Amino acid sequence: MKYEKLAKDIIENVGGKGNINSLTHCVTRLRFKLKDESKANTEVLKAMDGVVTVVKSGGQYQVVIGNHVPDVYADVCKVAGLATEGAEDSLEEKMNPFDRFIDIISGVFQPVLGVLCATGMIKGLNAILIATGLLADTDSTYIILNAIGDCLFNFFPIFLGYTAAKKFKLNQFTGMAIGAAMVYPAITALAGTTVTFLGIPVVMPSSSYQSTVIPIVLAIFLASKVERLLKKIVPDVVKTFIVPFLTLLLVVPVTFMAIGPVATIAANKLGDITLAVYNFSPILAGLFIGGFWQVFVMFGLHWGLIPLAMNNLAVLGYDPIVASSIAVCFAQTGVVMAIAAKTKNKKLRSLCIPSIISGFFGVTEPAIYGITLPRKKPFILSCVVGALTGGILGVFGSRIFMVGGMGIFAIPTFIGPAGIDKSFLGIIVASIVGLIVGFILMYFTKLDHEDMTDGKVEKVENNLEKDALVKQEVISSPIKGDVLPLNQVKDEVFSAGLLGKGVAIEPKEGKVVSPVDGTLTTLFPTHHALGITSDNGAEILIHVGMDTVQLEGKCFTPKAKQGDKIKAGQVLLEFDIDGIKEAGYPVTTPVIISNSDNYLDIIGTEKKEINREEELLTVMI
């Protein structure tokens, strides 16, 4: 642990771990709720290396650390044996139902996607070897490769039992045991029959539970509730084995008697509905999915389609829905290839090359976030061409017959039982068209001057000619409002400039925009504070209100994600001024340069009132 000694010293001087009721953190502070604050050695903590100061406010004992507070928080929790999941739980409770659904699906499926793609790629390789006559399905090489490719799908409930248990906070091995019971050979052999359990009829699904997804997720959800109840009533001395004993004894039969049959019926209906939508107009469905797929991915909405694809593969043996998105990566890659061919900006070209390589393998995040999305027009073009690829796949009636890799590794998944046919031809045509049309449209679309030349370098050189001694960076105002000196902020950490130099703004409008071109390096989970690093290296902290971390996200609506490349003037956050004030918190917003020590000086504006994007701070380099 990097901050183990500091963590131990902090715990000792807040009165020991026995004096800690709870611990959370915000952007810069550890926020303790202590049983007895008089036991804390405040002056010792203030003088400690690694601690900026101590603040007592709002019933919390706040130890100010700085930007690396998440790492210190993690080590304090490890040393003190504190749970680190409380903040996450409280945020999950505040999610709306749709966001909660997406969060659950991503939490269950994301950990297994890597091995899911890997085994799918092996199945695709095997399909190619069979289709080309290089192997027969009786060859031992084929059998071994098929075992590797099929291992996950044949025992999928066990894998999902683990990931779902982790998401629903059930003992992971209990989750795996439930999954294993569902694919137990004797149970699998009962597929399509009706049996009894203690005289109660049990209808087994016709295709067994081997590659299903809905029944195991619902079973684990139920098991998490049962386990939580049992932990409250079972004596500690026998809890280790009695809790899983009773959980399995209750949940597994209920899964076979109720959850499984109901989930199977629901899965069949879901497959019928998605197929009916697709059959209504494969072309329109393809245009829609292909055109908006990258937007779905950006907002995490694609997780809502992944279970549909998994369900269709299990029920129907194929999926045409997610298949419509497969060639989108080639549209994005074609656009980036055109940018690389056009630009003379060395920095931009250096970003394009690795993005093109990863794009061919289906990983388009570097291209989206680093190149096309910040420039808007290239991203819109990639979506338009993505719609074209989806429409082509709809015309050919293309569908995937297995889960495979992404990009070029996804192409073999279009080989079905009939071998290379119209479905496979569709993905080949769509991929080539996406690549070529994306390149052509972008090549004849005008780029900004700074992307076409080394404009940024030229500007710096011109500035150096004018002033060989001093360079500067202008930070525009992220908020419309009244400008206040930092020392008027009712928080001694900010007012004393302990976190950096800057000014404060009393907002007149509940909107935060980016003051620079750069990266949104920090967006705190409660959304009350943002950290931005400009392209020139200035680190800017925008902290909306005082002690607003206590609102736990209420009154704040983020418009960007941590890690996004952002442009000056881009809306990053909206907040409810009246709601914050009604909750009893001031909305005074410090805007500071947290790495002020790296600069000669930070000069604030002389204006008393300021609009968004007007000059607020000048950083002297």
| Residues recognised as catalytic | 26
Q: How many helices (H) and strands (E) does the chain have?
A: 25, 20
CA distances from 169 to 89, 139, 172, 317 (A): 11, 44, 8, 32
What whole-number distance in Å separates Cα of residue 547 and Cα of residue 587? 9
| Beta-strand runs (E) in 94-203 | 194-197, 200-203
Nearest-CA neighbor of 155 among 117, 219, 210, 204?
210
How long, in residues, is the chain? 621
Q: What is the DSSP letter of 447?
A: P
* HSE (side-chain half, CA atoms, 13 Å) at 102: 14
What whole-number distance in Å separates Cα of residue 254 and Cα of residue 57? 50
What whole-number distance in Å separates Cα of residue 220 and Cα of residue 83? 22
Residue 86 has which token pair? 């409380």
What whole-number distance in Å separates Cα of residue 201 and Cα of residue 188? 17
CA distances from 544 to 29, 205, 343 (A): 15, 54, 39
Token pair 């420039």: residue: 375
What whole-number distance in Å separates Cα of residue 357 and Cα of residue 536? 27
The separation between CA 112 and the C-alpha centre of its own chain, rounded to angstroms, equals 15
Residues in Cβ contact with 235 at an 8 Å cutoff, skipping those fewer than 6 apart: none
Which own/partner pairs from 464-470 qualify as long-range (CB within 8 Å, at least 24 positions apart)? 470/600, 470/620, 470/621
What whole-number distance in Å separates Cα of residue 355 and Cα of residue 621? 32
User: Letter for the amino acid at 532?
Assistant: I
Across the beta sheet with 20-25, the strand order is 20-25, 29-34, 60-64, 53-57
Residues 187/207, Cβ–Cβ less than 8 Å: no
Q: How buried is 75 (Cβ within 10 angstroms: 0-12 exposed, 13-18 middle, 19+ buried)?
A: buried
What whole-number distance in Å separates Cα of residue 341 and Cα of residue 434? 17
